[in-house]
Each structure stands twice: as C-alpha cells, then as structure tokens.
A and B are shown apart, each in its own frame.
Chain A
Amino acid sequence: MTTTPSRRPARPASLPPRGLPGLDPAWSRLVPSPDADGRVRTWHVLDTAPDAGADGPGVRGTLLCVHGNPTWSYLWRDLVARGAAAGWRVVAVDQLEMGYSERTGVRRGLAHRVRDLGALVETLGLTGDVVAVGHDWGGVIATGWAAAEDAHARARAGAPAGRHRAVERPRRLAGLVVMNTAAAHPAEDPAPGPLRLATLPGVLPLVTSRTDAFLRTTLALTHPPLAADVRAAYRAPYRGAADRAGVEDFVADVPVGPAHASRPAIDEVAAGAERLGRSGLPALVLWGPRDPVFGEEYLRDWRRRLPGADVHRFEGAGHLLPEDADVAGAVLRWLDTRLGSPAAPPAEEEATAPEGSPHVPLWTRLDERADSAEEAVVEMGPDGVARRVPWSLLHRRTQEIAAGLLEFGVEPGQRVSLLVPPGADLTAAVYAVVRIGAVGVLADAGLGLRGLTRAVRGAGVDVVIGVSRALVGARVLGWPGRRVAAGPVADEVLRLTGTRVTLADLAALGARRLAEGVALPPAPEPSAEAVVLFTSGSTGPAKGVVYTHRQLSELAAAMGATIRIGPGQGLVSAFAPFALFGPALGATCVVPAMDVTRPATLTASALAAAVAASGSTSAFLSPAALVNVLATADALDDADRAALARVQVLLSAGAPVPDALLQRARTLMPLADPRSPYGATEVLPATDVSLDEVLAAGAGEGICVGRPVEGAVVAIAPLDADGHAGEQLVLDADVTGEVVVGASHVKDHYDQLWLTQADSVAVRAPAGAAPRRWHRTGDVGHLDAQGRVWIEGRLAHVVVTGTEVVTPVGVEQRAESVPGIARAALVGVGPRPARQLAVVAEASEPVARTSVADPELAEAVRTATGRDLVAVLLVPALPTDVRHNSKIDRVRVAAWAGRALAGERVPPLVPGRAGGRRR
C-alpha cells in the first residue's frame, strides 16, 4: 500500500487546549515516530505512564486505545483515568490526520493505518502485556494491529500461525477489546447504513470536511445527549475544513465494493480476527445496540470470528458507547477476571460444579417411545375437540424436521427463534432444533411486541420459525433471520413476509432425506448451548438465559421431581417451557383451549375439558389463569365439576400466588393440595411449597415459598445499611438479604451480558456448603428457623431511609389487610438521609383519578403497617408486568410518587387507565 499524494495542507501536531472536561493535561504528550513509510510524524497521545516501562514496578500492562472516526483520544478519558488508577499504563492515540496529531497531507488507507500504529508501538517501546482496545474504525485498526502482532510473535516462535493453542500466547499481545465496530465488511454491502449517502460522489467532502455535518451527526448519537462542554471538546480539534481532511478520508476508506483499494486490507483484518479467535486470545466485545452504523449483524459477525469472546450488550446504549455506558468499568472488571487481578486470584466465575447425574439427552424418552401409540401431546380445540398426537408421530415428526432443518442449511450453534404457541408443532420443532445442535430461542409473547423485537434482534437469530402473526411481526419489525412458517399460514402472508418454507415443507423434505438413508448427526456435546429462554422483562429489559444440553436435562429432572410428574402421566398446562420438558419426562402435555399469550383467557370450562379429554390429574396454571378459572366457575356443569374434582396436583407459579387464591382453587379441586413453586427463568424451580405448608407457616415478613427443591440450596447475601447485598453468603435464619440459589440446574450464563452474568454469580459460598452453581435472584428475603424461604420483594425495590432498610412485601401485605386497600406498593420519597415512606395503592372501590386517602384510611394503613407513612395515595391502577399482571413496577411507582408528592402535576400512573371505570 502506498500513500496517495495530496495537496492537502500540512499542520504540525499540538497539545489539546487546557480545560477540556475530564481530560488531564498531564496525560498529553507529543511523540515523533516513523509512519508506515518511514517518515517521522508527530502523534498526540494520552499516556499515563510514559516513563514506566510496562514491565515497571506496579504496572500491570498497557491498554492501547484506538479511537474511530470522527472522534479522538478524548473518547477514552474515563478509561485513561480509571485504568491508571487500577494499575494500567493507558496509551490512547490520536491517529495521524485526526485529533491533535499531525496533519501530514497524506491520505491513509486501512493497511497504512495499521502499520502506522505498529510503528508507533515500537517507538513507544511497549513491552509486557498489551491489550488492544478499539472503537468504530479504531476497532478495525486495533484488530489489524493485534493480528499482525500475533502473527509476528508466532513467526518468531517458529510456529504456524493460527494453530489452535499450538503455541503459548505471545508475550506482548494479551487481549483484545472492541466495541461498535466491524471485523469484516461484506463486499456486496456498499457501506453501513447512513454512511452510504456520505459516500456518494460530491456529497462526501460536503458532509465530512467542508462542513462538520458528519461530526455533528455522530456526536448527536448519544443517549442521553452529550453535555455542551463535552460536545465542544470532541469538536475542538476539528474546527476548520483542513482539520477535517482525515475525517473525509476515513469515510472514503470504507471499502465500498470488491474493487475498493482497502478491500484486501479489510479482508486481511477479518481473517486475522478469525485467527485470533482460534488462538484463544482473551477478547471482549462491548456493544451499544442503538447504532445506526454498526448494526447487530456486525456483532453477530464478531461472535462468529471470536467464538470464545466475552460479549456484553448495553441495552439502550448506542454508537458512541463510551459516552452511553460504563465502558471503563466493564473493561477493568473484565481485565481483572480474564488477565488476573493483582490483588486477588482470578475470579472463579464459572463455578465448576459437580454435575448431579450422568448426562441423559433431552430426547431420550422420546426416542424410547418411538413406537408408542400412546398420547404425547393433546391439544384442545376451541370447539372442545382434542387433537391427539401419539409418541410415534411426535418422534417421527421431530426426526423429519431435524433432517429438514439440516437440509435448509441450519448449522450447529445457529440460533432458531420459535414463535409458536405450545402444542405439538412447538414440541416437535424445539426437539428438532436442539437435536441437531442448533440453539432454540424461546421468547414469550407476553414480553409484548417491543420486548419481543428486542429479544429476537438481540439474540442474533439466524432462523425464525413462527406462526402467521409472528411472521408478520418479523417482517414489519425487521427481525433478522430466514423465516419458516408454522401452522396454517395464508399464501398472502407467506408472500408478503418473504417466507418460502413451512414447517410441513421441512418435515417432508427431511422425510425424503431420511428415506434416502441420511442419518442425523451425532448428539451435541453436553456442554454445547441448547436453548435461550427469556426472562419476563418485568424488572428491566428481558434477558436471554442460556442453558446447555446438560443443564437442560438437569432442569427437566428438577421440574419432574418438583411437579411430581413422570412417564405415563399427563399435565394440563399452557406454560411454554412444558413443551420442552413434557417429552423429556415421558409425560403427556395437554394444552387447554385459550389464547396462550394471555393467561387470563383460560376458563374453568376449558380447563375441565382438557382434564376430561386427557384423563390428566395434574394442572399447572399461572396465577392470572387461575384467577380467571375461579371467576368463570359458574359456567361449569356437573361433568366439568366431576372432571376437576379428579385433579390431584395443582401448581401455580410465575408470580407470587396469594393464599386466598389457592384456597378458593381447592373448592373446585378438593383432592388437590395446591402447590406454588418459586423460581426464575435462571433457576426453574428453586423452592416448592404447598398451601397447607403456607397456612401452617402463618404470618411472617414476606411470602413463604417453602423449602429448596431436591438438590438445591438457598442462601442469603445479607443487606448492608445501604441496602446493598454483598458477595458473602450465609445460611443463618432471620437474616434479610438477596436470595441466592445454588443448584446444578441453574442457567449456564446470560446471553451476551457478560457483566450481568459476572454479577449474577459473584458470591462467596457459605461456610460448609458444597461447591455448586449459584444464581443471585435479585429477590430479597430470609430463611426461617425451619429452613423455609420467605420472599420480601425485589432488591431494586428495597427502600433505604435515613435509619433503616425496609423490604416492601411485608409492609404491603399489612397495608392490604386494611379494608378498602386492594393492592399496595411501598415506595421511598425524598433524598436518602431524610427519605420517607409512602404507600401507593389501588382501592377496593376503584378511584377514577389519583387521590389522597382520607385521614381515617391513612391512619388505618399507618397503624396496620406500623410505619409513619407520609402519604397513602390511591390510584386507579398500579403498573404491572404484561405477563402476570401481578409484579408491580415499584421503581416506576416510586418515581411517579416522588413527583406527585413534590406537588408536580403528574400524568396518571398507568396511562389510559385513569379517569374512567375501565378495569
């Protein structure tokens, strides 16, 4: 690569002006260094330890930070400050033609810039561990440098490049951190999104150098907007058109098409990234998904090239990630974990727990029943007619779809989103997907369209298998992935959504291949990813939870033991995970007639029909479904009642289940001792309790959820005076803290949420506890002297006043015991030392608009709760989750109450539900 001569004006390097927010002038230095062509150019770099060799005492290594376009080293100011404080030498460069580095008058292509950086590293004499950090096109250049560095080191060591762990890691390159950047650029894709316009002839100089439109646009991409002084600091080195020539050149260097001059260079970076991925180099990919330039497809590409990389998506953050998210904190924590902290031994993040039982693949029982004519799935139609699918058919269809998916090009490790309601189709598709080693993504429609879109996009789905409605959603909302139709879909929908294949087509295709003697591949490794389940999203954006094949089998076993169901038994449920576990347990799944996305549509008659048609004696209902069953019990005839009277096992879970609800359920199902297991998407189930046990436990602080299920341990991370839960776990009774569950069926990890995962397993096991996988639930509660677990609320909803830490559920239960109060939420009002408690409640007689409870009611609530509540506000409705209509969003209530009680005129707490009688 040669440089293109240019008549652009040259300008020497300079130091940034003083007083830029967050930038310490002591970090800045000018470094003369030969460039790729051997000519000495002057760089401006931020360097926290110019005199200390990286091997010097107290220096852990060097973070080599490379900005993109059109930013400068200012982007890294937070990492520079905190990295230095954590013992790192941080070197953040201004690339030549950019920031305060020299304007040389030379156009620099990608290959040139990679070699410029390499030459600078030699001039700086960096030794010891070096971690390359890059953002935007700086990520490409940093990766290019890292790949070249790796290749040189291997050449010196005499080993062939790219051999998997063939040689020890080269001494200097210790890690790679990239964010919102590209490892590769497909030749057919002209330029990432908005850059396309900028690369049109004539437009480019206009938007990039002659005006500062490109600069302004990029700086406007933050969430929230940048402070004016920070924005000014980013623009400081790019005041005049001549200062911005590098900005123009950078955009012009985006490799448009196969003939672009930088095409070979970007292809080399892409290949280099892949070699680094194979070498086992510690790598971290940080991502802001709200990036109009580098979309999720670039993140997927990074994950393919660096399969061992730790990935964290900062939901809600965008392109200028270091401005939107705590990048410095993430990088430093990752360095401590992956490269070892000087203070502590490397964190045992992925606890190696002795796995319970030998691995039994999920489909073992299905395979055993390949010739059975007994029912595997019973789907109840709205007309009361049952569709019965025998094991033999379910098995055959699973095999056929599996073969069809392979034929369709689905590869092991690829992700297949299943947007199909519970029933035989879902069960067959899930088993086919996991059987061939692909990863099933199960997101519940209860997330709502926005939540679902975020989940499907974020999970990086390769294929969507969906019913008609889901396909339309996929098309309209731009979900990624090839589409496969499930169930009846009109031709019109197929055409409009670009769907060319149905599940039936895949099965037919697979059947032909199987008939030709094609065999399914060997079963996936037990440690391979099997499914991604999504959390409810009631406590922030829904998170993907990854289970491996081994954990999935453990989970199925734990579920079977908890709900007491095994081979030959039937379970009535509309709970999607049962599509997964029913066949694994050899049990019959019975799906009642209802809109499964809305649990409250299950009627008593539909439940009775499902029980009668299948002869099942077990039912699993969400609390919302159970409420509706009881509300519609009047429509039952004698036969229905007789059917329900045969139910022996009644389970309700997914949200707190009031005792009174289970007691009323027992009037319909007198044989059943209703049970209410407690758990979370990350650990389903954790504890189990029956109604009789709850009644025997009596009143206490919170909700009694019983004892840990077989093989699980529940420990407590005590709350400190600030309401924070530490890492040390205890098993002591009557200590309130975060509830932490240890079990072999705990999730493997959160999907692309490295920091969240690290947080969720950051524990020090209680004294005497056997090593196991732990999960911090985010719930607070305590153990009692009998070993029962009591849930007192969510950690995020704990109220810390000047004098105490108050958990919400106990106070709310006592408030709800007051006649006139239907449902209550405890909130804190005011700044911390003076913070006061208040209750926001739904009244038994619904109010039409926000009101202050009259003094008698307020006093009754104060007396019942034993708290000096500054206010009891009555509202038409409290905000709850979509899925259960029972998890109150207390963070939102607290923010709203804070404004209302400050005297602000506030909109209704739940939009659209005030001012009327709609409830």
Chain B
Amino acid sequence: MRVLVTGASGMLGRETARAFARRGDAVRVLQRRPSGLEGTEEVLGSITDPDAVRAAVAGVDTVVHLAAKVSITGPHAEFVAVNVDGTRTLLAQARAAGVRRFVMVSSPSVAHAGSALVGAGTTPADPGAAHGSYAVTKGQAELLALAADAPGFAVVAVRPHIVIGPGDTQLVQRIADRARAGRLPLLDAGTALIDTTYVDNAVDAMLAAADRADVAHGQAFVVTNGEPRTVAEVFARICAAAGVPAPTRRVPAAAAKVAGSVVERVWTWGRLPDEPPMTRFLAEQLSTAHWFDQRRTREVLRWAPRVPLDEGFRRLAGGFGR
C-alpha cells in the first residue's frame, strides 16, 4: 500500500502514519509544519492549497484524511475553508490521481444534535442539526466524501470518539492544565456516560478501514474502546495520570450551557488567542451521554480494541513520566 496521511502533526495522524510505516507500507504525510516523523516522505503544505494536494496524492493508492480545523471556536469561514473546501479539493485530486481507497476521518459529533446518545448506532451525518462550526463542517465534509464513493474509489468514514493518549494536546493536556489551575468543574455530578478511544485502538481502526475498504465503503463507523465511563471518572483518571488533583467543584450543566453560548460568541467576536474556558458545545459534550453500539464497526472492519481502557490510562501516565 502506498499511503498518504493528511494532518500528521496531531497525535492520531502521527501515530497512524507511524503504524502504516511500521507494517511496511510506503507512507507520505501532508501538513503545514514539519512532522519530524522518520521513515515517511513529507509534503509540507495546506490542504487548502490545490498544488500541494496534487503533489501529495501523486502515486499513492490510499488516502487517510485527518487534516482539519479542530478548535472549539473561531470564525465559521475558517472551518469551511479547511474542513469542507479542503476535503473537496483532496477528494477531487485523489480521484484524478487514481487513488483507490479513501479513509475519511470524521467525528461522532457530526450526527449529534445535543440529545443523549445511549448505546447508539452510527447514524448519517446531519450538519443541519449538529452544534458548533467544527461538527457542522466535519458533517458536510463526511457527506461529500461518502457521496464520492464509487466503483474503484472506495470511501470509508471513520469516527473515533474522544481519542486519548500520550502527547494529546486536544483533550488530555487541556484537562490536565485546567485541573491544575483549578478551572475544571464537573457539570452536575459528572454522571453522563461517555465513550473514549485509546489512541492505539483508533490507529488500528484506521488501518482496518483502509484494509477493509472494499467491503466497508460508502459507510460510516463510530470507533470507541467500547468501555463507556462517566465524565467524572474519565476526568479523574486523566488527572490521576497527569498527577493533578481531580475536579470536585460542580456546576449545573444548564447554567454551563448558557454561559458557554455567551463565552463562545465573545471569543469568536473578539478573536481571542486561547481556547475559551467553556463553550455550549463543550458543555453539551461533557454533560450528555454519548456512547455507542460497537457491534457493526467490529464486524465490518474486523477490528477490536487491543488496549483496554485501564491499560490505556497506565500508558497515559507513562506519557506524563509517571
């Protein structure tokens, strides 16, 4: 397999590229800044730049597309440019270059309208109902990708849910930082059950999606560890791994959602540099259950999580040098 991994600067992209390389596939990566990955061919550039994309897809048969604007706030147009237009460009160039397999890395939030998901199956992306620019644009991108599925161009959408692992700057580091600063409350009692995915398992699922594209194409699959836990326990275990005290302060979820909406707007209008302390999207994510029925994913992708959550948190602690 000759594989292009876009967005290899993040934890999941980096580990995915490494895993392909480890098993002997020829790997090229595309991102804006040098990845420092050994054993891969590197193309520097943005997914929004057609020339960079054309160069990146030349000669590969498989694309794993992770590049995205992931932040929680920001002008909507920026999300559209990277997540929607970038994906459209990549799809077109990949087809033109004769790519046969395209793994679209998406998010369960593309089908989440804010209500609790309890043992849910994988439902189609619904950008009209999704909350927040990230989920809306990722939903549009997933629909574009699956619509491009055609004979000879197998598209599979994979939606890993809350990926955690050593070196994650998205969630783990933020939780640890906020907890250390005493700025991490629990919403209500923190009893909402959420699924998480240890990074190695998510990486395995990427490889499985590429390998099984001939049967899995045209479909979306939620990927998780299959071990839902309460928000309070996930926070506590991340904090324990990072060596910071777990949160004990409680904030009513309803109030957090209202406050989050306001903060979200202020941050967006003000173009403030850092991520805001709370957004409506985040408040929903941390106070509503979302865990999934994994049977179809495991069956079709012939994949199962190798690293149980417990072991995952041990490795996470190792990543913090503990």
Contacts and interface: CB of A to CB of B under 8 A. Distances in A.
Given A802-B295, A905-B254, A873 B118 contact: no
B252 interface: yes
B289 interface: yes
Contacts of A802: 295
Identify whether the interface residues of B are mostly helix, strand, loop, or mixed. mixed
A871 interface: yes
Contacts of A902: 116, 118, 192-193, 288-289
B79 interface: no
B233 A903 contact: no
Interface stretch (A555-563, A665-673, A830-838): A830-838
A854 interface: yes
B230 A905 contact: no
B310 A901 contact: no
B233 A851 contact: no
A852 B293 contact: no
B252 to A, nearest CB: 7
A852 B119 contact: no
A288 to B, nearest CB: 34
A309 B28 CA distance: 83
A852 B190 contact: yes
B12 interface: no
B192 A870 contact: no
A845 to B, nearest CB: 16
A317 interface: no
Contact of A859 (B188, B232, B254, B310): B310
A873 B188 CA distance: 13
A744 to B, nearest CB: 47
A871 B237 contact: no
B259 to A, nearest CB: 16
Contact of B116 (A833, A870, A903): A903
A898 B292 CA distance: 15
Q: Which size bracket describes the interface of B in this complex?
A: 20 to 34
B193 A834 contact: no
Nearest to B186: A852
B208 interface: no
**Residue in B189, B237, B253 with the greatest tally of chain A CB atoms within 10 Å:** B189
Contacts of A852: 189-191, 230, 232-233, 236
B119 A901 contact: no
Interface residues of A, number: 28
B212 interface: no
Given A855-B233, A901-B230, A905-B253, A834 B119 contact: yes
A904 interface: yes
Given A830-B119, A854-B246, A903-B289, A870 B228 contact: yes
B119 A836 contact: yes
A380 to B, nearest CB: 48
A849 interface: yes
Interface in B243-291: 246, 252-254, 287-289, 291
A868 interface: yes
A850 interface: yes
B269 to A, nearest CB: 29
A325 B234 CA distance: 44
B162 to A, nearest CB: 15
B293 to A, nearest CB: 4
A849 B119 contact: no
A265 interface: no
A829 interface: yes
A858 interface: yes
A804 to B, nearest CB: 14
Contact of A903 (B252, B288, B310): B288
Contact of A855 (B120, B193, B236, B252): B236
Interface in B109-124: 116, 118-120
Interface of B: 116, 118-120, 188-193, 227-233, 236-237, 240, 246, 252-254, 287-289, 291-295, 310
Interface of A: 802, 829-831, 833-836, 849-855, 858-859, 868, 870-871, 873, 898, 900-905
